[in-house]
Structure 1
């Protein structure tokens, strides 16, 4: 009931608009634009969608779409039947039941309407895919924000420490399960950090850095969190009724088949892309990974060497300025190279030609994870496992045999560059400072880039738009028929629509929300916790504070800085579970190695590899990994024995369905037996009556 009222309020605020289709015609001929526009309106109308058109900005049109209730109900019923066939729903939908054709949530309605717009005609949709094929000039399709609801949520959640299950349900009901799972994961991760943060503070005070006790507890807590989240994920699937929703595969429009065949089981025509061909294309991931390691690894290692030389070897002039050279180089080249490699990863994934969107996203996520792993963790790995053990061997060669000072040599001793004459010494605090930078400073900078920078950009953009509008008005009032450069045509809006259309035009300029980027950020953060928090036990405390802010800032970003996302369904957080499992496993190895290397009062082997016993290090890593595997098995078995309310509810639902079918079958058999018995009894009565009649005639 509450969800229905919320949906009614949303429709009333948004003039009963379900979606806005942004159509741009600046890049094509006017006649061609008109024909394509007519085709677009016709395609929407054919599937039961009503449209209204208003002018946008920068040679664009705003097409407001609303689903007719009759067609919406049919599409909703088909969707629920498909869910039942794939095991998402336990019971078969009844078309005559009350509410069977009424959306339960705002997200369900918007998803059905979105499918009516974008699904291919073979599935009952209009087949409109933005920026693809014949719909190249359809810029985007997006729902409108519920401003009043957003303000209410932001005000309520900023004063809360934890989000409740009802809060997560509200996010799911409004934004769909995919975003609901992200906020549920972030809330679960935030709650989990309370124990490592408290224990880390105690270890930092009592035991110091590189504590074996902290390393063991940290590895165990990472295992517990991973397994507990997998259990919570299953509970949310049941609670939100999306179990097995990943089994419903929708073909990608970009999928290109090589042949057609007839399915021997169903007799239906299927489109085939041989798995051997895809496997051959997937083998290109190996050279891609090597190229990524070489490109990013070489750049990071080079900047790392330059930074070591300038900060710890070089003693000449301008040292206070030269130390910024590695940072500048990394800031310039890492984003550029990462963007190029990300583009290559997307093209490679396109070339692999996946049939469904889920399989495409999974393959792309794995490639992006490799890039993030290199850029995020390689500097710390270099410090911990190259600089500390082999610093005294490698760093003196960075002086390049004093060649760096020759170009600066002068007769005057004052301007002569000199390198240090004192023996090189390992900086024991370098690793700790580096971990602090990535887990504290970088987190603060990232928050600023996520919140402050988009806000400032939006403010400047709005001021510029206001300036161009005022400039256009002045041109119009002065009698000029053609606007000058930098001016924009101002649509003439009806008085009752002007505020609403201004808000829609403003939302059309917003960026799309990418939940994958936020998942990637949390996965990288979990990696720092699992891999390197033994270096500085206050890492969990830093993440606890950061994630309290992150939980709210991400929601503010969705509500204010991005378009309202399409409420897509999902039954998990996808392959990110595999990523955090991998990081938890790798953390067991890394923690063991770090504790061994820095066991001598936390300063490490002092740059001399002679202090490291190789076989002992390998033995430590071997035992640490196997202890981790045993701990994970114990945790998995222990958690599997716990029955949660959601699993109990699912078991009860399955029992009731079986009981209902059994009772129905038993009742039908009883009716048949009763009908058969009455039929036989009637025959016996008729037979005895005939005998009496014959005896009477004979008598």
Structure 2
């Protein structure tokens, strides 16, 4: 039977060096820190031993906690929870045995990991990976339970997610991962309603329907407010409600910084975020103009390549660079803000990153809705004029017509001889095509790049490594540095069994995997939610596409967690954090965008000319939307009215949200079994505490329930006389 290992510490024995002298000094420092690490762990009551790692210059330190050490950690946390007001039914006895494993695997790993990495002022060991004091400690990870992973995936391929299964996920991976899969499952079930309604409106051929948009906004508010309550219910059920009160300090936290300095640092990041948002907006506007207008007028060499590939190439080359640059600066600013706890750090980082992520996701749709469709013909004419006149001020006010161009000499690769023909290439169904690309094509590509491609790459690497190992005679790689408790010679000891060697190989393979983080998965789901609630009035089948995608997503994410990444480190949490606020903001913005889209494109509120311009279905397929239909002044007036209607919708949203929130509170929170049980548990704990206080007082000389004797003589005379009955009888006689 392989040894029980709670955590694995990946230790890098070498860093980037430039000379042999530096390499020797580096190795000496690594050996010193390695010895210090083992000493610190063993003095804290842990079992620890080192083995060679997956690569040269890498070690894996296996850590296990004896029952006595674990009991001490549990006892300390239960007392901390009680003092901080977290829901609990009893205080753990100090003598309670843990040999029978009453703790879940996730709780065990979380307690040990938290004790190792937390700061000494929080009672921890302060072994923070890649910190100044532990720069050779690369990372800390738990090991996967292969038996559970196999059973979990097998069950999920045939049945649906339930509360029983989420409890099993929580016991294995902790609150954070369980909360994500609960959110994903709840969101998937909630999507059934808009999918059915959207399919009905699509079948009836009614995009931009005010009824569908109103239903959609109401559904989005209901879902977000229901999830807000669901979080609280789960927090009570799991005993994590208010867990932020007992959150440990971040290893990088510097105490003593005044609050106003922290706030100024937070404000300092705002101009940077605005700058990157503006840069990204300008970049995407340029790509949009190239794709939508300039490429239609170009008729020179490789014009088909320019029209189809150049926007995608520019987007791929430029946009990710801007996002990576912003992410690096966002992390730097967030670290500089000196957040005391990891939850506030992640919240601040999520706000910064989601701002640009939303810009990338929704900006093209915004441009198409308020620029391409209303002003596409005018912009096409302006582009033709700029190309033909070269931007000269003299000819800028001259209308560009076919007759005007025919009078001049036309040289070049631009289609300027037929204005109406160029305008006829405007795509009146661009919004629907964009929604299809975002909701179907992009999500298929995302699943492939997130799950399929990493799995294939890993299998190829494992095959090559196995082949190379066989070619080398099965000796494997040699380590560069050996320390005193390691096995000499680069191979496992003869005392280790075949089962032990297989276990160590499993450790090395898992240490080579990337770290799993729910941040990206939440970002993906929140972005998808935005597409459904803000833009599916354009293409009502968006809800159906999201439902099908999430049916696959909930299983592909489970496969990713169990087979493609390291086992997540369990985290204690009672909320999805900043993503809930992002969902709330999206529901408000959905009310604004749906009101504007319905006014502009529904057609029932405008005359026939406006409908022909703004509603693609009002024109024949491929028909041109000409500039003579409406002039720019009328279009601007329409947009101004749409903005006013959107403003009114934002105020109406506040009222609707308040009503829905009140109804859901009464239905799912007030009188819920979890709330009732939490109140009972709180009373039990207080009663036990008071009983313990009464017992202590009794031991000091006052028996429980015993009345202290009256010592004053005057008091006896006063309390022995009563005239109440005499007064009552006197009143009866007088009557």
Moved more, 547-556 or 649-658: 649-658
Moved more, 659-668 or 546-555: 659-668
The 8 Å contact of residues 314 and 419 in structure 1, kept in 2 or not, is answered as no
The answer to whether 1:49 aligns with 2:37 is no
After superposition, where does 1:588-603 map in structure 2 within 5 Å?
588-600=591-603
The 8 Å contact of residues 94 and 100 in structure 1, kept in 2 or not, is answered as no
From 642, 648, 651, the equivalent of 2:679 is 651
From 271, 274, 296, the equivalent of 1:287 is 271
Aligned to 1:9: none
SS class of match (2:128): coil
Deviation at 1:86, TM superposition (A): 1.1
Deviation at 1:569, TM superposition (A): 0.7
The answer to whether 1:32 aligns with 2:32 is no
Q: How large is the RMSD of aligned CA atoms in angstroms?
A: 3.0
**1:315/1:648 CA distance change after superposition, 3 Å:** farther
SS class of match (2:704): helix
Deviation at 1:434, TM superposition (A): 0.6
Moved more, 223-232 or 129-138: 129-138
SS class of match (2:59): strand
Aligned to 1:630: 655
Structure 2 CA distance for aligned equivalents of residues 577 and 474 of structure 1: 52
The 8 Å contact of residues 469 and 490 in structure 1, kept in 2 or not, is answered as no
The 8 Å contact of residues 91 and 657 in structure 1, kept in 2 or not, is answered as yes
Query: Deviations 1:553-603 (Å, cap 9, x if unpaired)?
Result: 101101000000111110100010000000000000000101111122686
Structure 2 CA distance for aligned equivalents of residues 87 and 415 of structure 1: 77
SS class of match (2:473): helix
Query: Deviations 1:390-447 (Å, cap 9, x if unpaired)?
Result: 22222333346335999xxxxxx99965446142144210011011111111011101
**1:490/1:201 CA distance change after superposition, 3 Å:** farther
From 349, 352, 360, the equivalent of 2:345 is 360
Deviation at 1:34, TM superposition (A): 1.6
The 8 Å contact of residues 48 and 67 in structure 1, kept in 2 or not, is answered as yes
**1:415/1:464 CA distance change after superposition, 3 Å:** farther
Structure 2 CA distance for aligned equivalents of residues 100 and 466 of structure 1: 41
The 8 Å contact of residues 11 and 58 in structure 2, kept in 1 or not, is answered as yes
From 209, 227, 230, the equivalent of 2:228 is 230
Moved more, 314-323 or 536-545: 314-323
The answer to whether 1:672 aligns with 2:704 is yes
Aligned to 1:555: 558
After superposition, where does 1:600-619 map in structure 2 within 5 Å?
600=603, 604=614, 608=630, 609=632, 610-611=634-635, 612-619=637-644
The answer to whether 1:333 aligns with 2:318 is yes
Moved more, 396-405 or 291-300: 396-405
The answer to whether 1:437 aligns with 2:469 is no
Deviation at 1:351, TM superposition (A): 1.6
Moved more, 317-326 or 466-475: 466-475
Structure 2 CA distance for aligned equivalents of residues 537 and 68 of structure 1: 58
Deviation at 1:18, TM superposition (A): 0.6
**1:663/1:140 CA distance change after superposition, 3 Å:** closer
What TM-score, normalized to structure 2?
A: 0.81
Give 5+ residue unaligned stretches, structure 2: 16-22, 392-409, 481-488, 604-610, 616-624, 712-735
**Aligned pairs, number:** 639
Aligned to 1:369: 354
Give 5+ residue unaligned stretches, structure 1: 1-11, 257-270, 407-412, 483-488, 680-699
From 238, 249, 256, the equivalent of 1:272 is 256
What TM-score, normalized to structure 1?
A: 0.86
Query: Deviations 1:511-532 (Å, cap 9, x if unpaired)?
Result: 0001111011111111111210
SS class of match (2:124): coil
Query: Deviations 1:242-299 (Å, cap 9, x if unpaired)?
Result: 010011232222123xxxxxxxxxxxxxx32112212222222232122112221111
Structure 2 CA distance for aligned equivalents of residues 481 and 618 of structure 1: 66
SS class of match (1:140): strand
From 179, 184, 198, the equivalent of 1:200 is 198
Deviation at 1:663, TM superposition (A): 7.4
**1:474/1:629 CA distance change after superposition, 3 Å:** closer
Aligned to 1:697: none
